[in-house]
Every structure is written in C-alpha cells, then in structure tokens.
Structure 1
C-alpha cells in the first residue's frame, strides 16, 4: 500500500442489471479494531426524511485477511455488528433497486436500476464503518460491457474514482449505463458542466443548455464564485413516474422529471425553475450551512429549526434568477407570489423544519418560505435605505462560512442575520416564522411600491334559462353562493327582481339580470318566485366568493424610496 492509497476501497458490481441487484465490496487496509459497526445511512442530505437505506441491503458478510468469514449480527435496519474485527479485511453486501412507491420520498433520494441504466443516490449504495467517515476512499465500478460512468467524483480512470471522505462519496450521485443515456458538455469561466440525460423519449437539448448557461452565469456572478471542479446535471425523464423532483449535492444535482414536449415554452417550465433552485443550493446549503450539516450523523434524525431558510430562500432566488435574467417577466414573478399569498399561508415554519425527518420537506417550505424570504428582503432594504439586502446577506454568509468551511449556528440564525445586515428580525421570526401568524404581505409590499389587493367578488350561484313563454326559470343553484343563501331552488320561476316585476321580453329580462349582478357584496337582494304554483318572497344579501381575487401591482406614483427598493429587487445587484 502506497502513502496515497486510501485505506477504504469500495467496489460496486452490477453483473446482471435485469435482476435489480448490485454487489458492494468494502476492502479495509490497516484498520485494527476489537469490534466494528457497519452502517447504512438512515437519511440523505437534501431530503432529510428518514428512509433507512439498510432495508434494501442484505447478505452482509465480513472476512478477515486470510479470507475467513467473520461473524456479523444485525442490530437494526441500518447497523451490523462485527464482534471480532481485529483482522477485518472485507465487508460484502447486496443492494437492491428501491421501488419508487416503497417510501414517500423523491426518486432522486433512492436508486433505480433497469436493463441499461442505474441511477443512484450515494447513501442508498455505500455504507461505512462507524467512526471512519472522514477517511479518504476510492470506488471501482464493475459494469456490463458498454456501460459508462457519470459522477462528480474525482476520476482516476474510466471505472475508478476517488473521494476525500465518506461524506464526499455519498454526496456524489451517479448515472451508470449505456444507451439511451446521452451526455453533453460546455465550459463557462473555465469550469466544465456536464448534462447527462436518461430519457425514454427523444430530448432536444439546445434550448435547455442555453437556458442553463444563463442561470449558471448569473448565480456564479452573484456570489463571485464558480465550481472549482466539474459540475454534473443528471437528468432522468420518465412520463410514468408518480413523483417528480430533484436533489442537490455539492458538485451535482439529479432530477426525475416528465419529458418536456416543446422547447418553445421551456423557459417558463417547471424544469427550468427546478434547475435554478438546485444550482443555487450549491451555495445554500452546500457551501454555507448549519453545523448539523457540516459533520453529518447519518443515523440520527436531523433536527434543525431553520430548514425553511435553506429551501425558502433558495426558492426565492430561483424566481429572482429567472426574472433578473429575463427568462421570465416581472409580471410572472409578481403572480407567482400573488398565488402563494392568496392562500394566506400561516404554517409554523420552525415546526415544519424540526419535523423534516418525519415528514420530509413540506411544500410550505418552498411556497411560504420563498414569500417570507421576499418580505425579509424588502424589510432589509427599507430599514437600511437599500444599503443591505438578501443579496448582500447571501454573499456575506458565503464569505464568512462557505469560503472558510465553517458552519453557522442554526439556533442563532436570526442573530447572524442581524450581525450581517443590521436588521433585527427577532419579532418577525417569533410572529410569522415560528408563531404561525399570517404574513403581513400588504404592509411590507407597500414598502417596495407594490399594492397587494384582495377583492372578494360576488358569488351569484344562479343558473337560469328563459322559457318559450318569456319566463325566467332557475336551472340550478351552487352551494356557498347568494342563490343558495336566498333559498332559490331548481325549477323556481322568478317573477320580480328588487321589487320590480320581471318583463317577458328577452332584452328586458337581460337588463334586470345585469342590474342584479352589478350589486356589490353585502347589498340587499329581493326576489319573488313561483314554486309549485305558489308565490314565495326571498330576501338576503349578495354573498362573497370563498376565494378572493388577489393581485400584486406596481403603485403608479411610488415615493423615491419605494421606487429605489422595487427597482433594486428587480435588477441584478
């Protein structure tokens, strides 16, 4: 063994892909232990939900330097105990394809094997000896003839790669296989970017690659930073999947998405937004992150209170990236947050963050979390006369933590934000992030020269027809409507509206209906109907629709400060 040869050597064998099985050998050199615990991770960074990858591992065996088998006992889903490990030389085990419907997480968190390809997320394949996660290691791939390897690990040869630690090994997803996988590469600012595409249909990549260049270039320049080594985008396009999504890692991001049918609408597609989101994760949280993600305990559930900051701020920057680069209009940007705000989000983001190991990353982390980030951005700009912003916070966190390879304290994040921006969000946090109160959208958007309007339009709920004899007949009635509240019924014949007898001409009936439907929410309504030959008087008020019409629009005559804040958010820093 040379000084450069790591003491931990993995080999992944895929002899028959159709079997949905693979075999892993971990060879150890110079490791002397009285006993050892072999572990598979319980969870994966980026998804956080407990998966227990050991459930899809079996046939775990241990061998000494003479090739003699050593007794191994299983402790739980993810741990195996080797009692006499003084001469431990090898551990072998079998991995299985993990069916998408076997655990409620994204497919990118698992692994998937078919006759010609194998995608894996590192924790689903590679185990470790407890206490040795910081050891450098290598992995060799034994694959069917014609197969290739695409992974961000450091390449030694075509089928051998190196990692500086176990964390780096499992932080590197891989796509292995042959046709239909296609690979494309471009270089920006001296960094190679690889797009590896596994698709059941023909994918034309020209537009995708051009849009990706725009996103990558903008985010690199925002941080004045770029990947020092090659970066991989691993795409799996399948129409039959029940769950779609993506997963970030330091030097790669992996995707399971439906194939895009047209390049024409690609810039406004979910695919491009997800790409912008995952690439921004290269900084938040891959470069700057809480200490719980700096030295990872793969067996214990992750408990942090500000996961919303990781996912929500990143989603905000996905939207900002697309808008600032012109890939989407500011109208689409406004409408995205209008739709989020219309739901009146008031989830407790701290509680959702703490429970991620049980529930995964809740949708509110992205939606409410990104709206929260936008409002915090406006607050920073307003309180400092636009001197600091979310942009400057991101850059300063990268300089203070990311570039120095130093984690921040999750429990004191709000204090860290104050340190870097001078803005105290303690009250904001207690009310709107941890307190479950509805966000003060209107109040804060006004500081950026934006009007947030909520209009409850009338819910009429009547559907009628005019008979051959000139009678207005109720055809049907909707629930939660004015008609329902009045007591209108199907078959009623309307004889008067607002105490005025209904004419029998079509134009006259139309005029009365238009006058009725011009009434505002809360105004009085009086109808007279005939039901089963008897006259019935109906009285009430115009009922509001349950879901309001919401808009975010620019104030026509903003103050100089409002305009400055608004324009600085919309443009690149």
Structure 2
C-alpha cells in the first residue's frame, strides 16, 4: 500500500509540473557592473502561478542571509520573449502569474564578497560568492540560483561558459569537454551542495580508499600551491580513513581553497558540504598555513559522517525559507570537532601534550565567552535568533561533550567502545537518505550502544544545565587541573579572549560582562562596547595587536588611560563615548593547565591507553 501511495504521489507531482527540468545558465565571460546574469530555462508548468525562491539560509551556516537581496532586474518571459507579470512577495521570493506560459527567468546577481551597496547582514565568505574578472569566480550557487516552491525535487542542470584560461573545481562532475561546462544533479539541494571555484588551474588529485580526492587552491600571489597543501593533509586523510574503518561514505571529495590577500575582519574559515568543503583563509606560505589547514581540513572532512550519513529530518528535508533548526549541534559540530583532534592524537599526528593544551584552551574560552549553563539542545534550536551569539560554543563545549562522551563510553566498555565506534554504528542504522527524528536520537544512541547510563549523560550535560565535569573526565585518564597563583597583570580593562569582531563595523567588540575586569569596570566599559581608540592610538583591526602592545608597554601605574568606544544604541546607531581612569593593574585569574597526576592508578593508565590507541 505504501509503495502504491508513493507511486500515485509521483504521478500527481509529474502532472502538476509537466515534463522537463530546470536549466540554469551562467556566462563568466560577461561580467557587467560586477554582476553576472542568471538565465533559468523553466519546465512546463500546469498551474497558474508559481513562486521562485532564493534561500534565506542554507545548511551548515546557522545564520539568516537572505540571498534574494543580491538579485536585480528580475524578469519572467514567455517563449516569445514577452514579459510575464510577477510580484515580489518577500526578500527572497517572486510569485509569477500565467506560469503555464513561462519559458525562462532572467536576472542579475551581485557577488556577496564585494557588494557594499547591498544592505543586510554580512555573509560568511565560504557561504558566498566572488566575481573577479580573469582571476577568480567563487560560486556558492545557493547565493545565485533559486528553486520553484513545491518542485524542489525535480532534476536540475547548470551550464557555465568560462574563460579559456580557467578551470572549474568542484565535487560535482563536469559532463562536458567543451568551453561550456555542464553539471547535472537529481534535485536542487544536491546541486547547490557542490560549490565551484573557477580560476587558473592549480589542482592535485589522488585516490584515498574508495574515493578520489581533489584539492584546488587559489593563491593570488602564488604563495601556496595545491601540491603543498596535499603534502600537508595526506597523512591526516590517511588517519581519518582508518578512523572511519578503512572506507569512506563518498566516492569523491573536493577541497576548494581560496587564499585571500585582503585585510579581513577575522572571519576566516570553511563551510562543509556532503562531498566537499570550501575554505577562505589568509594568504601565506605553507609554513605559516600548515597547522591552520590541517586543523580546519580535519574538521570539515569529518562532516562526511555528519550531516551526510547522520542527520535529522530538519536537515534531510531542509526548508531554505523557514528553517527549523535541529537541537543536535553537539553532534554535528561538537562531536566533529572532537573527532578532528582525537584522530590526530590516535595516529601520532600530534601528541598528548598538544591535545591537552588545545582542550585546555577550549575550556578557558568556554568559561569566559559563553553561558556555561545554557542547555546545548536549547541553544541549537534557537541558534538563528535568541542564541546566535552562543553558536561559537559548539567548537568549545561541543568538543568537550564529545571528549566526555568518548571517555564515558570507553569506561563502560573496558575501553573497547567509544564515540568512534558509536558513529559507525549510527551511520549503519541511518544513512544519506534516512533521517532521524530529533526527539528520538538520545534514545536511539542508548539502544545502539546498549549503554543505558548514557541517558543520564544526555539529560545532565546536553539537555540539562549541569556544568560538564571536566575534572572528573580528566581524572579518569590520570590527569588533573593544576592552578597557579594569581598575579597582578597589565590590562586595558578587558580579557582579549572575550573579544569578537563586528562584521559590519570592522571593530573589536567586548563580547560579555564576564570579559571585563575590575579596572574595566572602573573605566565604565560595558558588554557590546566597540573599541575605537586607546590613548589616541587607533584600535582598528589592522593595527589592533601592535597598538595594544604599545599602550601596555608604555603606560605606568597612575597615568591616565583614555578609551574611546562606540556604544550601540540600537538600529545600527552608535554613541561615541570617551572613558578615562588612572591606570592600575588587575589580579589575573589564576592560570591553569592540565597535567598528569603523579601516581595514577593502573585503571587510569589503562583507560588512557585504550582511549588513545583504540582499535581501528
């Protein structure tokens, strides 16, 4: 009966839409006023009206971007090229009348990296687009191509005319051997999940287990090459292959890397996709970039497990306009971040001292910058609005949750079973086309692991407000937290780790009251203040570190410290405030480190060994 109902639904869907597919066309040789034209050949619709939409948000970004705001000069045309009536019904949607007569859409799009005239929230570069004639076209196609609401699952095709000197790198395969590249996908989400980069070719490809790996690099000043990147990450990928059981859940994977020589606001990073990842990093030579590339690639590559093979219905049936967020960011980002570090420890790419130093830093950042008692599931569900400033904690507390869960599982199984094995078993149960229900995941994990004790773990530390027992977890493997005596320190009134960057104003922001020390409170600093000048020295991002060091070096006790800040008043309006106070030192918080216990028990040492050297 279910098969019959599904068959009927497919017939109804086909009749409503008519025959054909959505065909997109771009011409990279025709850049007009820093815009590209998008041509959409439409299938034959039966209904009177259809809605064409661009995404408000896309998977993995956890921010509302409204990509429709980059669209201009929108037209709907019939087969004779005559205009059809349409109505813009929102920032991302166009309702088209007489849809049965429609043959194509035409509109222009601005790139997101360099369009200051387009108002709205800053778009994280790995989620956006860049159009640089004769040098680079970075194409996250979700920022350019839309879909017809109700018809998201029909076949799509993308044709791209390219300059002769450029090569298009992507995880999606080019079906053409001419100057016009052609890409096909079963449906819209599959197409936009494969970003493209067009530039002068600098690529390396090699096999890894059952998959082919592509690395493509754009370095404007030729400071770093794809071959150098490949040399750095090959040992890491080999380790990750072993970590995942010797086989990968993909047949090909692309690392698309843009290195930028522009001064940025600090928001470098990457965005994961099912079979690729897109990177935006500061340009440098391989010596300066090696560690960053390894750390970021380790995290992004592990996303082939989550969300490709393991994801909730909210991701499997993603709503690009009115998304419902899953409550399991601890799994998608936190456990992925933990695995990215654990794999390097397990296969001797890093050592235990470095691993502990990394998690020591995560613990400090978690305690200073984020709400320690906010349930992670609540933060995840409301990450787009109420708790968007808490998102960064997925890489801090989220990684610690992975660490603690791994140790808990291994302790319960005499070291034989941890998160590494748990994720493999979970992937066997679900898969690319089988989503889990958000509210059932914890029960499913208890069932799969056969460890009823996990229910308490999730209730306390993921769903609940209980602080994670870092000291207990460390103690289980023979480590302890060592505190040193606090001492007077020079500061400008705030903890540097408490700073964020405002992407709109390009200024350093004091993130929270917790980051303001006694001297800062005497000055009158407040959370969300943005730094402009200190003692008449500019604190713009380009010279922030240099001028902060100069002020702290030169100022003496009792001398007047003057700080000019921009204080937000709402609606993008700032008040200039000048604060003065006689300089004084503050008592720094007692520094801590994670150190081995002097006389660990045999059980502690055995669990440490099992955790570090668990069976592949």
Please, what TM-score do these two structures have when normalized by structure 2?
A: 0.74
User: For 2:330 and 2:73, how far apart are their aligned partners in 1?
Assistant: 39
1:125 lines up with 2:144 in the alignment: yes
* Equivalent residue, structure 2, for 1:355: 382
Structure 1 alignment gaps of length 5 or more: 463-478, 485-542
Name which of 226, 233, 256 aligns with 1:212: 233
User: For 1:259 and 1:222, how far apart are their aligned partners in 2?
Assistant: 30
Deviation at 1:316, TM superposition (A): 0.4
Structure 1 pair 295/376, CA: closer, same or farther in 2 (3 Å)?
same
Structure 1 pair 461/408, CA: closer, same or farther in 2 (3 Å)?
closer
1:221 lines up with 2:242 in the alignment: yes
User: For 1:36 and 1:204, how far apart are their aligned partners in 2?
Assistant: 46
Higher alpha-carbon deviation: 425-434 or 229-238: 425-434
1:196 lines up with 2:216 in the alignment: yes
User: For 1:6 and 1:333, how far apart are their aligned partners in 2?
Assistant: 54
Counterpart mapping for 1:345-384 below 5 A: 345=367, 346-348=372-374, 349-358=376-385, 359=388, 362-384=391-413
User: For 1:205 and 1:18, how far apart are their aligned partners in 2?
Assistant: 31
User: For 2:68 and 2:38, how far apart are their aligned partners in 1?
Assistant: 13
Deviation at 1:84, TM superposition (A): 1.3
* Equivalent residue, structure 2, for 1:446: 475
* Equivalent residue, structure 1, for 2:268: 244
Structure 1 pair 292/460, CA: closer, same or farther in 2 (3 Å)?
closer
Please, what TM-score do these two structures have when normalized by structure 1?
A: 0.79
1:415 lines up with 2:443 in the alignment: yes
Counterpart mapping for 1:410-489 below 5 A: 410-421=438-449, 422-453=451-482, 455-459=483-487
Q: Deviations over 1:481-518 (max 9, x none)?
A: 9xx9xxxxxxxxxxxxxxxxxxxxxxxxxxxxxxxxxx
Structure 1 contact 40–128 (Cα < 8 Å) conserved: yes
Counterpart mapping for 1:55-134 below 5 A: 55-99=69-113, 103-115=121-133, 116-134=135-153
User: For 1:436 and 1:17, how far apart are their aligned partners in 2?
Assistant: 53
Structure 1 pair 108/343, CA: closer, same or farther in 2 (3 Å)?
closer
1:182 lines up with 2:202 in the alignment: yes
Structure 1 pair 366/560, CA: closer, same or farther in 2 (3 Å)?
same
1:317 lines up with 2:339 in the alignment: yes
Structure 1 contact 6–138 (Cα < 8 Å) conserved: no
User: For 2:313 and 2:60, how far apart are their aligned partners in 1?
Assistant: 15
* Equivalent residue, structure 1, for 2:350: 328
Deviation at 1:255, TM superposition (A): 0.2
User: For 1:341 and 1:360, how far apart are their aligned partners in 2?
Assistant: 17
1:140 lines up with 2:159 in the alignment: yes
Q: SS of the counterpart of 1:219? A: helix
Name which of 55, 66, 69 aligns with 1:52: 66
The number of residues matched between the two structures is: 487
Q: SS of the counterpart of 2:384? A: helix
Q: SS of the counterpart of 2:430? A: helix
Structure 1 pair 227/461, CA: closer, same or farther in 2 (3 Å)?
closer
Structure 1 pair 297/164, CA: closer, same or farther in 2 (3 Å)?
same
Structure 1 pair 461/162, CA: closer, same or farther in 2 (3 Å)?
closer
User: For 2:172 and 2:164, how far apart are their aligned partners in 1?
Assistant: 21
Deviation at 1:375, TM superposition (A): 0.9
Q: SS of the counterpart of 2:150? A: coil
Deviation at 1:6, TM superposition (A): 5.2
Deviation at 1:18, TM superposition (A): 6.7
Q: SS of the counterpart of 1:23? A: strand
User: For 2:215 and 2:395, how far apart are their aligned partners in 1?
Assistant: 25
Deviation at 1:17, TM superposition (A): 3.5
Q: SS of the counterpart of 2:270? A: strand
Structure 1 pair 275/49, CA: closer, same or farther in 2 (3 Å)?
same
Structure 1 contact 21–97 (Cα < 8 Å) conserved: yes
Q: Deviations over 1:355-380 (max 9, x none)?
A: 22232772111111101110111111
Higher alpha-carbon deviation: 185-194 or 167-176: 185-194
Name which of 591, 594, 600 aligns with 1:549: 591
Q: Deviations over 1:234-254 (max 9, x none)?
A: 101013232201001111100
Q: Deviations over 1:413-453 (max 9, x none)?
A: 22122112214334333433343433211112212222233
Q: Deviations over 1:102-143 (max 9, x none)?
A: 633420111111122110212101101111111111110023
Structure 1 pair 132/277, CA: closer, same or farther in 2 (3 Å)?
same
Larger-gyration structure (1/2)? 1
Structure 2 contact 53–147 (Cα < 8 Å) conserved: yes
Structure 1 contact 347–364 (Cα < 8 Å) conserved: no
Deviation at 1:66, TM superposition (A): 3.5
Q: Deviations over 1:57-100 (max 9, x none)?
A: 12221122333321111000011001211122211221111136
Q: SS of the counterpart of 1:273? A: helix
Q: Deviations over 1:203-234 (max 9, x none)?
A: 14444212322222222232233254321111
Deviation at 1:343, TM superposition (A): 4.6
User: For 1:193 and 1:433, how far apart are their aligned partners in 2?
Assistant: 35
User: For 2:328 and 2:210, how far apart are their aligned partners in 1?
Assistant: 34
User: For 1:85 and 1:360, how far apart are their aligned partners in 2?
Assistant: 42
Structure 2 alignment gaps of length 5 or more: 1-18, 491-516, 523-584
* Equivalent residue, structure 2, for 1:393: 422
Structure 1 pair 21/266, CA: closer, same or farther in 2 (3 Å)?
closer
Structure 1 contact 378–445 (Cα < 8 Å) conserved: no
Structure 1 pair 371/461, CA: closer, same or farther in 2 (3 Å)?
closer
Structure 1 pair 382/125, CA: closer, same or farther in 2 (3 Å)?
same
